[in-house]
C-alpha cells in the first residue's frame, strides 16, 4: 500500500523530485486516514519542505487537466462498489459505499450568504446535499466541498478566502464520511459498474407515456431485467420498461415486445406538439423521435389545403393538419391503428374534419384518393387556390406504393401548379442517400426526379442507415392516362424553388 501511495504522490508533480520529498509527503498518512479517497489523500498532506512548484494554485493546475482525466477521477470516487460487477438481479443494498469528503464548518446563520461565494468550491453532485447539519454542534453547518478542488485551506481562491475572513469563518478543512447509496448513483453509472467492463451501456430509451422503450443489444440481454428496473427507478413517471424483440416487418407495423420490468399495461397517453394521443403501444406504431417531422410537414400546410395520409397510424400527421383547418383523408390498414385514429380525432376535437379509412395503401390511393383528386383537379377547380398533399410515411415500403399513381386519373391534365405534392419516406444505406432515394422513387414512377424534387434528412436510424423524405409534385405524364412526359413538367418552377442545398 505504501508503495502505491508513493507512486500516486509522485505522479502529479512529475518525476524530477527526489525520493526525500516523496517520503516526506507519504509519512503524514496515518492508519485512520487510509479510507480517504486516493485522489484527495495524494494532495491533502502538507510536506514539511515544499519545492517552489508546490506553491502554485493546486486547483488551477487540476482545472487545466484534460477533461477525460477529470471524468476518470470523478468516476473513481463517485462510482458504485466494484463488487456489483456481473450482477443480473438488482440488489440495491449492494451499492452502499462510503467516501471521504472535505467539509467546511460554518455558523448556520451565514450559510446562505456564504454559499453564493463558494459555488465553485462546493460539491456539485446531483442528489447530494451540499449543506448538512454538524453532528457535533447544532449551531453549525458543514458545507460539502469538491474533493478534486479543495485539499487544504490553501486550495481556496483569493476571493473565497477574503469572504471567509469577512464572515469570520476559519478556512480549516475537515473530513466527513459520506455514505453513498443506490439512490445517489445515476443510471449510466450503475449500468457501467454492472455490465462487463468495456461493453456498451444502454442509458437511452424512447419514452412513450409511462413506457420506456429500449432496444437492447445481444451482450446486454443477460442484464435486461436489471436494466429495465434501473430505468424505471431513475426516471420519474416511467412505470414500465420494454424491449423490442423483432423488427417492424409485419403488415401492421407493430412489433413484439418483452416487458423487462414494471407493469404490463401498454395502454398509454402521450403529448406531442400540443396534441394528445392515446393508444395501445403493443398494437400500433408510434415513434417519439418523429415529433419534429410531424411538425415540419404540418408547417408546410396552409388552411384549406387537402391532405391524404396514406399510412396514418394513430394520427400524428392527420390531427395537426385538421387543427389547421385542412381537409384530411386518413387511412391505415391496421384495425387497431384505425380504432385509435378515430378515438384521437374525437379526443382532439377534429373528428368532423377527418375522413378515416381502414384500407390497404394501394386501395386507398386508387379508391378514395382517386375520387377526390378527380374533383379537386377537375375543370371546375381552375380557380382553386389551395394545395393537395399526400403523405406516405412507411419508410420500408412507401416507395413501392408510388406505382399506384401511374395513370391514376382520366381526362385532361390540370395546371402544373395544381398537381398533388407527395411527401414519401424511405430508408437508405447508400453513400449518397438523397440521390439514392430520388433514384428509388424515379424508378418506380418511370421518370427522373433529380431535377424536380427535394430530399429532407429525417434522422439516422442505425449506423449507415438514414431515414429521408422525398418531396415532389406528381408529373402529369405519370398521373394522367395517355399522356407523355414533357420537359415543362420536369422543370416545374415551384419544385425548383423548394430545393435547397440544406435539404441534402
Residue 393 counted as an annotated binding residue: yes
Instruction: Map residue 114 onto helix, strand or coil.
Output: helix
Residues 6+ apart with CB under 8 A from 499: 453, 454
Cα 374–Cα 370–Cα 311 angle in degrees, nearest 5:
140
* Euclidean distance between the first and the last CA atom of the chain, given in angstroms as a whole number: 60
Of 239, 197, 196, 204, which is closest to residue 221 (Cα–Cα)? 196
Nearest CA to 376 out of 407, 341, 340, 420 is that of: 420
361 is in an annotated binding site: yes
Distance separating alpha carbons of residues 327 and 353, to the nearest angstrom = 6
Question: Which strand ranges, in their side-by-side order, compose the sheet holding 173-180?
Answer: 131-134, 137-144, 97-107, 173-180
Cell of 499: 430545393
Alpha-carbon span 113 to 117, nearest angstrom: 7
The beta strands (E) that lie in 354-503 are given as: 354-357, 388-392, 421-428, 453-462, 465-473
The 10 Å CB-count burial string (b at 16+, else e) for 216-236 is beeebeebbbbbbbbbbbbee
Do the annotations mark residue 333 as ligand-binding?
yes
- Return the number of other C-beta atoms located less than 10 Å from residue 282's C-beta: 18
Q: Is 343 annotated as a binding residue?
A: no
Give buried/exposed letters for 45-55 (b at 16+ CB in 10 A, else e). Answer: bebeeeeeebe
- The DSSP symbol for 7 reads H
Q: How far is the C-alpha of 504 from the C-alpha of 455, rounded, in Å?
A: 6
Among 477, 327, 328, smallest CA distance to 405 is for: 477
CA 489 to chain centre: 42
Q: Is 209 annotated as a binding residue?
A: no
Whether the CB-CB separation of 330 and 341 falls below 8 Å is answered with yes
Query: Residue 133: enclosing H or E segment and its boundaries?
Result: strand 131-134
Phi-psi region of 156 (alpha: psi -120 to 50; beta: other; left: phi over 0): beta
Q: Which helix (H) or strand (E) holds 211?
A: strand 211-214
Q: How many CB atoms lie within 10 A of CB 292?
A: 10
User: How do 388-392 and 306-309 pair as beta strands?
Assistant: parallel
294 in a labelled binding site: yes
Instruction: Point out the annotated binding site.
Output: 294, 332-333, 360-361, 393
Instruction: Point out the annotated binding site for S-adenosyl-L-methionine.
Output: 294, 332-333, 360-361, 393
Amino acid at each position: 500500500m505504501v508503495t502505491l501511495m508513493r507512486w500516486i504522490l509522485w505522479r502529479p508533480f512529475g518525476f524530477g523530485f527526489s525520493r526525500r520529498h516523496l517520503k516526506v509527503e507519504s509519512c503524514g498518512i496515518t492508519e485512520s486516514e487510509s479510507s480517504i479517497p486516493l485522489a484527495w489523500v495524494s494532495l491533502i498532506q502538507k510536506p514539511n519542505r515544499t519545492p517552489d512548484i508546490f506553491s502554485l494554485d493546486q486547483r488551477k493546475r487540476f482545472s487545466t487537466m484534460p477533461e477525460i482525466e477529470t471524468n476518470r477521477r470523478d468516476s473513481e470516487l463517485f462510482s458504485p462498489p466494484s463488487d456489483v460487477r456481473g450482477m443480473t438481479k438488482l440488489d440495491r443494498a449492494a451499492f452502499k459505499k462510503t467516501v471521504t469528503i472535505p467539509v467546511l464548518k460554518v455558523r448556520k446563520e451565514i450559510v446562505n450568504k456564504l454559499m453564493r461565494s463558494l459555488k465553485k468550491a462546493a460539491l456539485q453532485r446531483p442528489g447530494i446535499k451540499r449543506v448538512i447539519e454538524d453532528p457535533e454542534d447544532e449551531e453549525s453547518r458543514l458545507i460539502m466541498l469538491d474533493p478534486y478542488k479543495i485539499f487544504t485551506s490553501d486550495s481556496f481562491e483569493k476571493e473565497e478566502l477574503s469572504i471567509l475572513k469577512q464572515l469570520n469563518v476559519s478556512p480549516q478543512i475537515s473530513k466527513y464520511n459520506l455514505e453513498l447509496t443506490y439512490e445517489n448513483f445515476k443510471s449510466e453509472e450503475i449500468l457501467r459498474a454492472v455490465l462487463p467492463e468495456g461493453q456498451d451501456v444502454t442509458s437511452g430509451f424512447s419514452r412513450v407515456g409511462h413506457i420506456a422503450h429500449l432496444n437492447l443489444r445481444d451482450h446486454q440481454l443477460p442484464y435486461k431485467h436489471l436494466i429495465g428496473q434501473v430505468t424505471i427507478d431513475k426516471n420519474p413517471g416511467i412505470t414500465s420498461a420494454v424491449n423490442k424483440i423483432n423488427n417492424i416487418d409485419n403488415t401492421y407495423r407493430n412489433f413484439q415486445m418483452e416487458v423487462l420490468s414494471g407493469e404490463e399495461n401498454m395502454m398509454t397517453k402521450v403529448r406531442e406538439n400540443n396534441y394528445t394521443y392515446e393508444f395501445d403501444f403493443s398494437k400500433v406504431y408510434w415513434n417519439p423521435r418523429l415529433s419534429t417531422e410531424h411538425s415540419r410537414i404540418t408547417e408546410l400546410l396552409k388552411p384549406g389545403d387537402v391532405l391524404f395520409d396514406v399510412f396514418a397510424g394513430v394520427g400524428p400527421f392527420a390531427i395537426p393538419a385538421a387543427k389547421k383547418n385542412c381537409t384530411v383523408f386518413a387511412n391505415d390498414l391496421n384495425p387497431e391503428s384505425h380504432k385509435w385514429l378515430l378515438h384521437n380525432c374525437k379526443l382532439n376535437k377534429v373528428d368532423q374534419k377527418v375522413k378515416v379509412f381502414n384500407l390497404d395503401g394501394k386501395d386507398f390511393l386508387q379508391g378514395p384518393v382517386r375520387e377526390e383528386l378527380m374533383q379537386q383537379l377537375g375543370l371546375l377547380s381552375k380557380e382553386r387556390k389551395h394545395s393537395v398533399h399526400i403523405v406516405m410515411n412507411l419508410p420500408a415500403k412507401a416507395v413501392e406504393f408510388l406505382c399506384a399513381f401511374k395513370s391514376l386519373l382520366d381526362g385532361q391534365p390540370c395546371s402544373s401548379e395544381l398537381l398533388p405534392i407527395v411527401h414519401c419516406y424511405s430508408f437508405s444505406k447508400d453513400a449518397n442517400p438523397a440521390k439514392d432515394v430520388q433514384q428509388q422513387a424515379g424508378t418506380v414512377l418511370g421518370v427522373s426526379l433529380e431535377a424536380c424534387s427535394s430530399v429532407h434528412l429525417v434522422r439516422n436510424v442505425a449506423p449507415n442507415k438514414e431515414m429521408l423524405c422525398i418531396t415532389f409534385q406528381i408529373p402529369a405524364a405519370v398521373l394522367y392516362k395517355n399522356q407523355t412526359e414533357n420537359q415543362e413538367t420536369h422543370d416545374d418552377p415551384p419544385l425548383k424553388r423548394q430545393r435547397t442545398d440544406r435539404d441534402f
